[in-house]
Structure formats: C-alpha cells, structure tokens
Amino acid sequence: MKTFFRWTIRVIVGLLLALVAVIVLREPLLRWMAERQLRRQTGLETKIGKFDVGIFSPMITIRDLKIYNSAAFGGKPLLDLAELHVEYDADALRALKLRLKLVRFNLAEVNVVTDTNGRNNLQELQDKAQQAAPGGATNQLALGVEFDKIDTLDLTLGMLRYTDMKQPDRPQEVDLGLKHEVIHNVKSANDINQALVNVMLRRGIGLLGGGSPFGGAAQGGAGALNPLTLWKQLSPPAKN
C-alpha cells in the first residue's frame, strides 16, 4: 500500500511538472510552429516577437510579426504587423465554424519592391500562396473548418512604402494613418475593401495612379502610390 501511495504521488508530481512545462514553454513552442508554417506558405524569412494563446479563454495574440523580402527584393521587411489579436467563438469552432468575436489588426508597415525586371514582391507572394492553395479561394479552411464571420474588426493601417530597384534611393510613401477603424459583421474581403474605400474617401486619401499602385512620379503626383489598389493586392480574393 505504501508503494502504491508513493507511486501515485510521483505520477501526480510528474503530471504537475508536465503541466508547468507546457505553460512555460507554450509561447516559444507556438511561436516556432507559427514561424515555420508561415515560412512554408510564403517561402520567406519570418520572425514573431510574441505568440500567446489563452489557456482559459478563446483568444490568440501575435505581436511584432515581420515577414522579410527575399534577397532578390533587397531582404528588408516586406510586412510589419504590430499586433493581431483574435477572440473566437469556441462553441462555433466545435461545430466547425470559424466565428471571430473580435479581431484587432494593426499593420504598421508594408514595403513593396519592384525588381529590375518589373516584377514586385507582392506578385511573388501571391504566386506562392496560390501554390499552397491550388484549389482556389473558398471559405473552407483547414480540417473542414468554414469561415463564418468577424463580429468586430478593429483595423489600424500605417505606412505603405514602394521602392523601385532601378531607383532605390527614391522610395514613395503613403501614411494611411488609419487608427482603430471599426468594421462590424465582416463576412468577406469585399466587406473590408468597401469599408476602407468609404473611410479613405471620407478622410480625403486620393485614388491616384489608375489601375496600378506603382508609378514613377514623386509622392502625391500623378502615378503615385494608390493605397486602395495596393490594399486589394494584399487582400485575399473573394469567394465567387
């Protein structure tokens, strides 16, 4: 009986130590897994400053996510995501529906680069994303989970910067200056695009540059960066 008691205590202590290890190590382990997955999907170097998953609450927070351009596009950060905070509906997820109660998306900076052959890094990124999902754009996600909606999207957009490798010392910049723009009941990328069009028109951000976000003029002139067109390039295609 004494041996059984000691064995039971050892099992309990072992389980407690394992639980402590999971709690302590979960952040670096999850961060490593997320970085690995993003590298696989984009083919680009990825760094995450902080990755936190709620143990007792359905939430995920990523801070200081940086995706770097390949050497062909200068190697500097392509994307600097200051924060992505997600609060999801656990009951809906058990029913294979992804319903997000709150998404706080703070995109600090995007650096778009065109190489000497006229190809830009967003095109390269889109090609790799399409290769990773050859079936095309749908609402179907991994493991049979289907996207439902975002109840509240808190959107912050900072700097858009464009560099032509033929003239690397003449970058164009647009500071969108959108801070905590709230969009409700988001069911597709089109909902976000339309809301951004309305916000930018309301704030007087011009629709410059025709059908392309890239032009040779100085900032603010004809052919300058078109933030709406660039946002559409960053956004996933809508479901038909």
Q: In the prediction, which pLDDT does 15 show?
A: 53
Residue 151 within any structural domain of the chain: yes
pLDDT in tens, 16-64: 555 555 555 677 888 888 898 888 888 899 999 998 888 778 999 999 9
Residue 240 within any structural domain of the chain: no
User: Residue 160's domain spans which residues?
Assistant: 28-234
Residue 12 within any structural domain of the chain: no
Residue 130 within any structural domain of the chain: yes
Q: How far apart are CA 185 and CA 180, in angstroms?
A: 16
Residue 1 within any structural domain of the chain: no
Q: In the prediction, which pLDDT does 190 show?
A: 82
CA-nearest of 227, 201, 202, 232 to 214 is: 227
Structural domains of the chain, count: 1
Neighbours of 5 (CB within 10 A): 9
Q: 109-118, 165-174, 216-225, 226-235: lowest mean pLDDT where?
A: 216-225
Q: In the prediction, which pLDDT does 27 show?
A: 79
List of residues 6+ apart from 168 with CB closer than 8 A: 74
Q: In the prediction, which pLDDT does 133 show?
A: 58
Higher-pLDDT residue of 178, 130: 178
Residue 13 within any structural domain of the chain: no
Cβ-count burial of 16 within 10 angstroms (0-12 exposed, 13-18 middle, 19+ buried)?
exposed
Rounded to 10 degrees, the C-alpha dihedral 227/232/233/236 comes to 150
- Model pTM score: 0.74
pLDDT confidence of 224, banded at 50, 70, 90?
A: very low
Q: In the prediction, which pLDDT does 214 show?
A: 40
Residue 14 above 90 pLDDT? no
The pLDDT of 75-80, averaged and rounded, is 90
Q: In the prediction, which pLDDT does 238 show?
A: 47
84 φ, ψ to 5°? -130, 110
Q: Does the CA dihedral 33-133-54-50 come out positive or negative?
A: positive
- 66, 79 contact by CB (below 8 A): yes
pLDDT in tens, 142-186: 667 888 899 999 999 899 888 888 888 888 888 888 899 899 998
Residue 18 within any structural domain of the chain: no
- 179, 199 contact by CB (below 8 A): no
Tokens of 218: 């100085």
Residue 16 within any structural domain of the chain: no
